Structure 1
Amino acid sequence: MDIKQYLDSTYLKTAQQANLSEEENTQVVKNCIQEAIDNNFKLIMIRPDKVVLAKEMIQNAKSKVTIGTVIDFPEGDGALADKLAEATQAIYDGADDLDFVVDYKAFKNDEIDKVKTQVLEGTKLGLKHNKIVKWIIEVAALNNHQIVQLSALIKNVVIANCNEKEYEKVFVKSSTGFYKTPEGMPNGATVPTIKLMLENSFPLPVKAAGGVRTYEEAVEMIRLGVKRIGTSAAKTIANGEVSNSDY
């Protein structure tokens, strides 16, 4: 199976997180963008401040690689106005996919209307500009019941407010890859959590992010039904090798 068109090649570390200078970290981003172009991956997923750089490189290469970025990352607890402003800037800069971190903390606190409103407004903004919208639910911060509920909440908001042709443009996504779990527990996609998401977000598509480290694991996710896989080791996985990446 050629899995390259399922892969969102991802680099989301800040210079500080990578223990690099800003210049060094920008070079890492450039290398990742070039690798996505050279390998014809579906998408390059980078921080919002690197979208313009990615757009320029992809246009110069006449590549079909699309550009994704993260919104309110990685905590997801920013004000709605700030979420929408960041997304609007990313759209202006040339992003194709907007991966919002849903306010899963508000959800866990039973602030359901708050979560519904941000899902509605963020989705409407993205679809208005013909973008793909993904909602990161941070499965490692949730129990199974909460994964079911939050996946269904996003689905129900979209079904109630969007037309059927738009469903394929709104994903439920598993993880940021940055959530700190106790004692080395998985912080990304696992088969059980992805199954819960698939069952409860349908007909919306699902993106498995974090935790997919081999070609075989990627194929298993695709066969389960995921439409995208987020990984910082896209080339390694596509080549059938094993990644030791933490995302």
Structure 2
Amino acid sequence: MIVEPNRYIEHTNLNTDLIDRDIDRLVAEAKSHQFQGVCIPPFWVKKASRELKDTEIQLVTVIGFPLGYQRTESKIKEIELAIEDGADELDLVMNVSAFKSGMNWPKIEMAKAAKLAHENNKLLKLIVETALLSTEELAKVCKIVSDAGVDFIKTSTGFSSRGANTRDVEIMKENVSANVGIKASGGIKSYEQLKELVVVGAERIGTSSGVAIMKEFRNE
């Protein structure tokens, strides 16, 4: 099966030491390879928005990153600022602590964030950090995400003990509603990995290895 990787890749750099030249390079590479999007920290959204003007590349940023412990009010403010700066899609980190405590608050938070995003014609993705969840917990989160009106469920921040794998995506595919997309991210470094994840249901791939994956694909 041939999978054209650029159709799925969100070209990502969330490193703490990135500088303006890194953003310039990320955007230039995304344009060159016609990636689906670029995913960057909120601080750099306004700059990238100017550089991506008049392109179809989606500008993605993270909210409540990387642990999701912030109060909902803080996350909502982050979303408002990101939208004001030009973000097209918001990747919100779930409060795993509240979820594992049996609280209903994560669903309320997701619903509030989704409402705000949709009022501004933006997409909301929910990062669930699969490394921290059992199979049963992941299935339960999928149901919550579906009920809360989230657009995509995302495997990982890339900052936990592991990233995405095919089993995570399979569980998500089995448990989310049909209108919820799946984004796999974390540790995806090869074309073979990308293809395996797409085959089992991933519709977006977050990776910092987009250029290397494209080179591998073209060499094949």
Q: Normalising TM by the smaller chain, what interval?
A: over 0.9
SS of 2:183's equivalent in the other structure is strand
1:201 positional shift: 1.2
SS of 2:52's equivalent in the other structure is helix
Taking only aligned residues, the RMSD between alpha carbons, in angstroms, comes to 1.3
On the 8 A contact 2:190/2:209 being kept in 1, the answer is: no
On the 8 A contact 2:169/2:201 being kept in 1, the answer is: no
On the 8 A contact 2:114/2:148 being kept in 1, the answer is: no
Quick one: which amino acid aligns to residue 81 of structure 2? Answer: Q
1:116 maps to which of 107, 112, 134: 107
Kindly indicate whether residue 81 of structure 2 is the aligned counterpart of residue 86 of structure 1.
no
2:44 corresponds to which residue?
Answer: 50
1:202 corresponds to which residue?
Answer: 177
Q: Which moved more, 1:217-226 or 1:134-143?
A: 217-226
1:211 positional shift: 2.4
Tell me how many residue pairs correspond in the alignment: 214
Q: Which moved more, 1:25-34 or 1:80-89?
A: 25-34
TM-score (norm 2): 0.93
1:166 corresponds to which residue?
Answer: none
Quick one: which amino acid aligns to residue 191 of structure 1? Answer: T
1:63 corresponds to which residue?
Answer: 55
Q: Which moved more, 1:62-71 or 1:78-87?
A: 62-71
Could you report, residue by residue, the CA deviation over 1:189-247 in whole angstroms, capped at 9, with x for unpaired residues? 11111111111113111100112221121112111121100001111112217xxxxxx
1:157 positional shift: 2.4
SS of 1:134's equivalent in the other structure is strand
On the 8 A contact 2:6/2:34 being kept in 1, the answer is: yes
1:146 corresponds to which residue?
Answer: 137
| Counterpart-to-counterpart distance in 1, 2:176 and 2:183 | 11
1:85 positional shift: 0.3
1:170 maps to which of 151, 157, 163: 151
1:26 positional shift: 2.0
On the 8 A contact 2:89/2:125 being kept in 1, the answer is: yes
Could you report, residue by residue, the CA deviation over 1:87-106 in whole angstroms, capped at 9, with x for unpaired residues? 00000100000000011111
Q: Which moved more, 1:140-149 or 1:81-90?
A: 140-149
TM-score (norm 1): 0.83
Could you report, residue by residue, the CA deviation over 1:64-111 in whole angstroms, capped at 9, with x for unpaired residues? 211000001001010011000000000010000000001111101111
Quick one: which amino acid aligns to residue 5 of structure 1? Answer: R
On the 8 A contact 2:107/2:145 being kept in 1, the answer is: yes
2:12 corresponds to which residue?
Answer: 10
- Structure 1: tracts of 5 or more residues without a match: 19-24, 159-168, 182-186, 242-247
1:213 corresponds to which residue?
Answer: 189
2:33 maps to which of 35, 39, 43: 39
Could you report, residue by residue, the CA deviation over 1:2-37 in whole angstroms, capped at 9, with x for unpaired residues? 22021000001122xx6xxxxxx2211221111111
| Counterpart-to-counterpart distance in 2, 1:211 and 1:12 | 13
1:156 positional shift: 2.1
